[in-house]
Amino acid sequence: MMNASDIPAVSVAVLQDGRFLLVQRGHAPSRGLYAFPGGRVRAGETAREAVQRELREESGLMLDEFKRFGEIIIPAENGRNYRLDVFCANRAHGVARPGDDASRVGWYTIDEMRALPITESTLMVAEKIASGCTSM
């Protein structure tokens, strides 16, 4: 159940040809860290709409099909939490290019991801998806 002070957010793990799509954050608080495309859900926007918007803004890619994978609670500022709805997809289309707050975008294997400066939750979700886990 969502608390009134929680911040609704989404991310999308796209696993295509054995590689995950990651963006490198260009702005604080996660500047320099790699993560799945995602961000806050805007007022009046559904989580699914936010996934498509964030993916397009940060990577230039679009999805035809994706499903909900699970939820992660991430502590934020002032005792608030990000309530992160995580989605997953097997294929994206378009030309990957960094945009919005992403300074880089690319496709990485799990082994390559372990060597990156990456958010803990991103690596955890990628490992679960790669191992065949269908939900959190």
Instruction: For 76-104, write each residue's pLDDT tens digit.
Output: 877 889 899 999 999 999 999 988 778 89
pTM across the whole model:
0.92
In a domain, 135, yes or no: no
In a domain, 136, yes or no: no
User: Helix count (H) and strand count (E) of the chain?
Assistant: 3, 7
Average confidence score pLDDT of the chain = 92
In a domain, 91, yes or no: yes
Separation of alpha carbons 133 and 42, rounded Å: 29
pLDDT of residue 2: 60
In a domain, 119, yes or no: yes
Could you tell me which residue, 98 or 41, shows the higher pLDDT?
Answer: 41
- CATH number of the domain at 85, please: 3.90.79.10
Q: What range defines the domain where residue 122 resides?
A: 7-130
Could you tell me which residue, 36 or 101, shows the higher pLDDT?
Answer: 36
In a domain, 88, yes or no: yes
Separation of alpha carbons 99 and 92, rounded Å: 16
Which residues, 6+ apart, have CB-to-CB distance to 124 below 8 Å? none
Mean per-residue pLDDT for 119-129? Answer: 94
In a domain, 32, yes or no: yes
In a domain, 89, yes or no: yes
pLDDT of residue 14: 97
Residue carrying the six token digits 């300074």? 103
* Confidence category of residue 5, pLDDT binned at 50, 70, 90: confident
Count the domains in the chain: 1
pLDDT of residue 1: 54
Whether the per-residue pLDDT at 136 is higher than 80: the answer is: no
In a domain, 124, yes or no: yes
Single-letter residue type at 129: I
Separation of alpha carbons 59 and 11, rounded Å: 12
